[in-house]
Amino acid sequence: MNINYLRHYFQLLEVFTLREIKSRYKASLLGPLWIVLYPLFTAVILNFIFGKFIRIKTEGIPYFVFVLSGLIIWNFFQQGVDLAKNSLVWNRELITKTAFSTSVLPFSYVLSKIPDFLVYLILLLVSYNFNNYRANFSYFSIVIIILPLILLTSGVALISSLTNAVFRDFGKIVDFAFMIIFYATPIIYPESLIPAKFKFMLYLNPLALLIAFIRNLLFRSDFRLHLYLLSFPMSLFIFLLGIILFKNFNKKVADLI
């Protein structure tokens, strides 16, 4: 671990992240506009189903902006992991024919979702203002939620990309896990709907903590820093688990993939 190695690592990270962002929309007609359309469509659909038909009670918060405040966290996590889980498989040729630190691959796919996150944030704050709330520029400080979110997402991305490279079954397991996590996390419903005896689960779920942090801040003007800080230990734990796993199996990836 010397300076040269680190510098090369960060250059790789930058180049791969840009490569992913650039190539993602190259062959599409609407190009980067998809970054805006995707969250918009998702929120509109969920708004219809859960806001208009099933009518989930959100304590008076307009459902559209309510669900957007959950999706901003969920989509970064879900899309980041979903892309990154295949990062080693997709780049098989690169791994088996060139020498570089393979761990930049899952990382770069996660980081390539940062522009999407920022668009989400703008979309959230704009629709927040449309719904008779008053947001000013200080609200952009919500952007700090991306720190634990990157740690968590990268950790899960490292673990799932490695396991998926060895046994493709793990890719399928990740899809099931997404479904469970999506419904177990208060994204489309408020945490007040969770029975008291299951409330403890929220504290084990960094995604739920971050969503609770945003919602308290936006809809109750309640700055609960402890929710934000509590999301760190678990995220960090999963991140380190991913790093350790990668460090141990790094040398075997090229043979096993």
Partner 1 sequence: MSQPAIVINNITKKYYLEKPRTLKKWFHTIISPFEKFTVFKNFSLSVNKGEFILITGSNGSGKTTLLKLIAGITFPDEGSIKTYGRIVPLIELGAGFNYELTGEENIVTNATILGIQKSKIKEIIPKIVSFSGLKDFIDVPLKRYSTGMVTRLAFSIAVYSNPNILLIDEIFAVGDHEFRKKSIKRILDFKKKSITIVLTSNFRIAKYIFDREIKLINSFQTS
94: contact with partner 1 by CB under 8 A: yes
Query: According to CB under 8 A, which residues from 171 to 190 bind partner 1?
Result: none
Q: Can you say whether the dihedral through the CA atoms of 151, 154, 157, 158 is positive or negative?
A: negative
Whichever of 139 and 249 has its CB closer to partner 1, that residue is 249
CB of 22 to partner 1, least distance (A): 6
134: contact with partner 1 by CB under 8 A: no
Contacts of residue 28, Cβ cutoff 8 Å, sequence gap at least 6:
34
Contact with partner 1 (CB under 8 A): which of 1, 3, 29, 99? 99
Indicate the burial class of 214 (C-beta count within 10 angstroms; 0-12, 13-18, 19 or more). buried
Among the residue ranges 20-28, 67-75, 112-120, 154-162, the one whose residues contact partner 1 (CB under 8 A): 20-28
Q: How far apart are CA 207 and CA 203, in angstroms?
A: 9
Whichever of 201 and 256 has its CB closer to partner 1, that residue is 256
Count of alpha carbons within 13 angstroms of residue 219, beta-carbon side:
23
Q: Where are the beta strands (DSSP E) in 26-101?
A: none
Whichever of 11 and 192 has its CB closer to partner 1, that residue is 11
15: contact with partner 1 by CB under 8 A: yes
8: contact with partner 1 by CB under 8 A: yes
Q: How far apart are CA 94 and CA 182, in angstroms?
A: 33
Distance from the Cα of residue 44 to its chain's centroid: 20
Encoded one letter per residue, x for contact with partner 1 by CB under 8 A and - for no contact, window 23-52 reads x--xx-------------------------
Contacts of residue 199, Cβ cutoff 8 Å, sequence gap at least 6:
191
257: contact with partner 1 by CB under 8 A: no
Whichever of 91 and 185 has its CB closer to partner 1, that residue is 91
Among the residue ranges 32-40, 67-75, 91-99, 228-236, the one whose residues contact partner 1 (CB under 8 A): 91-99
C-alpha closest to that of 64 among 89, 87, 91, 41? 41
12: contact with partner 1 by CB under 8 A: yes
DSSP secondary structure code for residue 51 in this structure = I
93: contact with partner 1 by CB under 8 A: yes
Contact with partner 1 (CB under 8 A): which of 91, 103, 161, 185? 91
Q: How far apart are CA 207 and CA 186, in angstroms?
A: 9
> Which ranges in 85-113 belong to alpha helices (H)?
87-90, 92-97, 104-111
Query: According to CB under 8 A, which residues from 183 to 242 bind partner 1?
Result: none
Which amino acid is residue 234, in one-letter code?
M
CB of 171 to partner 1, least distance (A): 16
Applying CB under 8 A, the residues found at the interface with partner 1 are 7-8, 11-12, 15-16, 19, 22-23, 26-27, 91, 93-100, 251-252, 254-256
